[in-house]
Structure 1
Amino acid sequence: MRRWWPGGLRARLLVAFVLVTVLGAAAAAWSSAGSAGRALVAAAERGVAEAVTGRIGAVAAELTHPPDQDALDRLRAAVGPGALATYGDLRSAAGTGTDLVTDALRSAVRTGDRLVTQRVAARDGVWLLVGTPIAVTAPDGARTPSGIEVYVARDLADVERQVDGLTAGAAGTAALALPPAVLLALAAARGVLRPVRELRDTARRLAAGDLGARTPPRGADELTELTATVNEMAGSLQASMAALQRMRADARRFAADVSHELRTPLSTLTAVVEVLAAATADVADADARESAQLAIAETQRLVELVEDLMEVSRLDAGTASLHLEDVDAAAAVRDCLRARGWLDRVELLAPDGVGLRVDRRRLDVVVANLVGNALQHGGPPVRVLVGALDDRVRIEVVDGGPGVPQHVRAHVFDRFAKGDPARTRTPGSGLGLAIARENARLHGGDIAVADPTAAGGEGARFVLLLPREQEDR
């Protein structure tokens, strides 16, 4: 049933409406035809019974008792064709159908004093059998059974044909109801589904980002209530999204303003702590030298955090731009490692001649963040593998450390994310991987955490994919 039942709402409405209309018309026509057919059969039975009763009454007074064969023949001839008259062993029959008289009909006639009818089905159709006993009336009015029985068989073929005509008419009436039912169903479906289509279009516009989309309610039915509810939901969503956008814009502006305001005092503070470090380099007090070095390290860490915040602000604001140039991927990665003194700590496996069109400075930031993360949080050996695919370049950073737990992978690129919540003090700003991924996506690429490849399933593996060719933007 589910396979053949239409799936669309319009089709289901059409089929249901047409089925209800046609079945209702067919049921009404069929009921009318049945009632008319039963009335025809009953009228035919009454007509035959009255005719038989009248003819028997016309000759019954002339019958002698007990009757002989001639008397039975006269009685049978008076009743007409298809009649059978019996008295004891005497029998007078003429016409067709008399052989259809059943034992049940004979028994009912012999044990009663009234006319009995019965319908029987034969090979050539339906027959009506009528049986009646004949009573003898005494001078005092007393009636006693004479023993004479009369049976009449009448073919109901004409009546059956009339009933068949009524049935055919009922079927035709149901068929004639089909086209109007389809037209009414189309009109009803169009009226019912128009609000549904409008709601669908509004939902699509909302899904596409048009939060001002609304459907004007019409009428006062359930669909109107649904439309009003959807409009209220859309209004609430629009207000929530507007508040969220304001909050995000305020947060970005706050981060950018704070970062900008911190740059000048941090530059001055860096210069001061460097002078302090130089002044305490020859001081014999070890605690003073350690305090100066700690101040320099923390100041540098604060400078890096401010620079990262400013970079994040530019990426969020969409003001970050690419300065594309053609570079050799292996040479760019090697330069990044050399600039930070990592060549002796990182193994580079990169074939020469892998061309790449990127912003060299941003690629340096991405690689530096990935390798720096492996050196700080992973373990040796740290390897960088560069390979060329059909239309992309694959840069893979692998370390031999404890790896990235499965439950942390989904959040490893979040801002200020920490793999171990217990480590409240970690080197770096906590924005390195987030900035790396934003820069990769700015190029049309991406970074993902892949399954570990080191022995025992340990080690972290970050895979950077960048398109080899792209247009200037």
Structure 2
Amino acid sequence: MTLRLRLLLAFALLTVVTAVSVAGAGYVRARDAVVQRAQDNAVIETTNRVEQLYPLPARPLDTASLERIAGRLSSREGTAMVVGNGVSVGGMDPSVVTPELRALVSSGYVGWQRVPYAGSVWLVIGMQLRVSGGGASGIEVYALRPFTSEVAFVGELARNAWLIGSVVLLFALGLGFLAARGVLRPVRELQLAAWKLGQGDLSARVEVRGRDELASVAETFNSTASSLEHHVGELRRLEADARRFVADVSHELRTPLAAMTAVTDVLDAETASLPGVAGQAARLVNRETVNLTRLVDDLIEVTRFDSGTAALAPDDVDVAEVVRATLRMRGFSADVTASLPAGVRARLDPRRLDVIVANLVGNALRHGAPPVSVGLSVDGESLVIEVADAGPGLSPEVLPHVFARFYKADSARGRSEGSGLGLAIAWENARLHGGTLVAANRPGGGAVFTLRLPLGGE
């Protein structure tokens, strides 16, 4: 349930409770006052009519006299009934007099009661007649008066109460909508600003209005966003400086490394004629120079990816031939089982595919166990290359970081086992083609790296 709906429901509930309480209490008080006044007026009128009959003779009244009394008590709106000497006369229906009212009148009291009659509500008033001297005459009179106008008036009060309550409810809902809109507007602005901040727009801010709690939240958000923008800016600056430093150092190392490589090539050609320790030292220098050259080349390649200058040089190639050339040039052919069907062509950068396959196969040979296999297939519109080994596989701790830069599953490995950039460069090259590179473990044991590239290129 949204916050706006909850606010509207709260306003509606409060309005309903208030309207029912106020209108209900007013309706009950007005209804009781109207009914009481109508009953009092009817009783007073009937009592006045009865008093006009006095004085009554002390002798018993005959039926004709009783009928005259009933006639005098009757009116245009109602009728009357006189009960005495064992007879009941008058135009009133005796069935409307309830036993409770008759018992009350027989006890000498003036009584009245609302009863249903002729499809409406009527008032029955009863009392005893007194003879001269104040004694009881034994004659009871009952007057039937309509209560229709009072019932209609009470019904009108009820309708007015419902109407006023409905209008108040609609008015309260309108106020609730406006209040919710005013309250939720800063919340929506805060939500939008937070979304922009999450999308990387560190300049997102919220306008502060007023001095309430929402304004305090907005000020806190702005302060947090400003601090985050400052820190992220510093981190980006430091990262840019570090990348520039790596790029500059890598390029500066290329010239002396070229000279060192030329010298070590000469030494490598003479290692056979060098005595013992000198020959070992020459071979070590040559190997480390090769490793350092590879590391510098990898660093330069990484800086190209980071700076966005890495670009594809796509060509329509025979994928199987590119993979075979990679295995042959790296000296991997004798150690790798290749399943490379002919006729698979794709538009991609052959140099970068060579780098991907070389890094994957080299990683499998160094850290896996034979046999190492390379498979080529086509899945829909994708080119699929799988490199698998029969080694121990990748542990759950290694899998999430296998393509991270400079990550090594065994931190104790020597520098000769790689720089930790090969798989990262392979992953970047796959992404540059618009493809994916995924690492997993085979059910039968060993690791498998799956490269998927679009056949048509990026």
TM-score of the pair, normalised by structure 2: 0.88
2:443 is aligned with 1:460: no
Where does the alignment leave 5 or more consecutive residues of structure 2 unmatched?
A: none
Please give the secondary structure, in 2, of the residue aligned with 1:406. Answer: coil
* Whole-angstrom distance in 2 between the partners of 1:389 and 1:280: 50
Match of 1:314 among 299, 304, 317: 304
Match of 1:85 among 82, 93, 98: 82
Amino acid at match of 1:117: W
* Whole-angstrom distance in 1 between the partners of 2:274 and 2:180: 93
Amino acid at match of 1:203: A
Please give the secondary structure, in 2, of the residue aligned with 1:84. Answer: strand
Match of 1:372 among 355, 358, 362: 362
Amino acid at match of 2:143: V
Match of 2:139 in 1: 148
Match of 1:48 in 2: 42
Report if the CA contact (8 A) 1:85-1:149 is conserved.
yes
Shift of 1:447: 0.5
* Whole-angstrom distance in 2 between the partners of 1:351 and 1:42: 106
Output one character per residue of 1:177-198: Cα deviation in whole Å (capped at 9) or x when no partner: 5765565455444433433333
Amino acid at match of 2:80: A
Match of 1:229 in 2: 220
1:143-222 aligned at under 5 Å gives the runs 144-176=135-167, 184-222=175-213
Match of 1:3 in 2: none
* Whole-angstrom distance in 2 between the partners of 1:443 and 1:226: 45
TM-score of the pair, normalised by structure 1: 0.85
Amino acid at match of 2:158: T
Please give the secondary structure, in 2, of the residue aligned with 1:433. Answer: helix
Shift of 1:427: 0.5
* Whole-angstrom distance in 1 between the partners of 2:224 and 2:373: 52
* Whole-angstrom distance in 1 between the partners of 2:27 and 2:416: 93
* Whole-angstrom distance in 2 between the partners of 1:133 and 1:422: 120
- Give aligned pairs, total: 455
* Whole-angstrom distance in 1 between the partners of 2:105 and 2:41: 19
Report if the CA contact (8 A) 2:268-2:283 is conserved.
yes
* Whole-angstrom distance in 1 between the partners of 2:364 and 2:92: 112
Shift of 1:236: 2.4
Structure 1 residues 93 and 224, CA gap change in structure 2 (3 angstroms):
farther
Match of 1:256 in 2: 247
* Whole-angstrom distance in 2 between the partners of 1:378 and 1:431: 17
* Whole-angstrom distance in 1 between the partners of 2:414 and 2:139: 123
Amino acid at match of 1:110: S
Please tell me the root mean square deviation across aligned C-alpha atoms, in Å.
Answer: 3.0
2:121 is aligned with 1:126: yes
The answer to which of 22-31 and 296-305 deviates more is 22-31
> Kindly, what percent of the aligned residue pairs are identical?
45
1:436-455 aligned at under 5 Å gives the runs 436-452=426-442
Structure 1 residues 51 and 63, CA gap change in structure 2 (3 angstroms):
farther
Please give the secondary structure, in 1, of the residue aligned with 2:52. Answer: helix
Report if the CA contact (8 A) 1:22-1:181 is conserved.
no
Shift of 1:346: 1.0
Where does the alignment leave 5 or more consecutive residues of structure 1 unmatched?
A: 1-6
* Whole-angstrom distance in 2 between the partners of 1:466 and 1:411: 22
Report if the CA contact (8 A) 1:83-1:98 is conserved.
no
Report if the CA contact (8 A) 1:64-1:71 is conserved.
no
The answer to which of 70-79 and 219-228 deviates more is 70-79
* Whole-angstrom distance in 2 between the partners of 1:123 and 1:447: 92
* Whole-angstrom distance in 1 between the partners of 2:392 and 2:118: 95
* Whole-angstrom distance in 2 between the partners of 1:257 and 1:63: 138
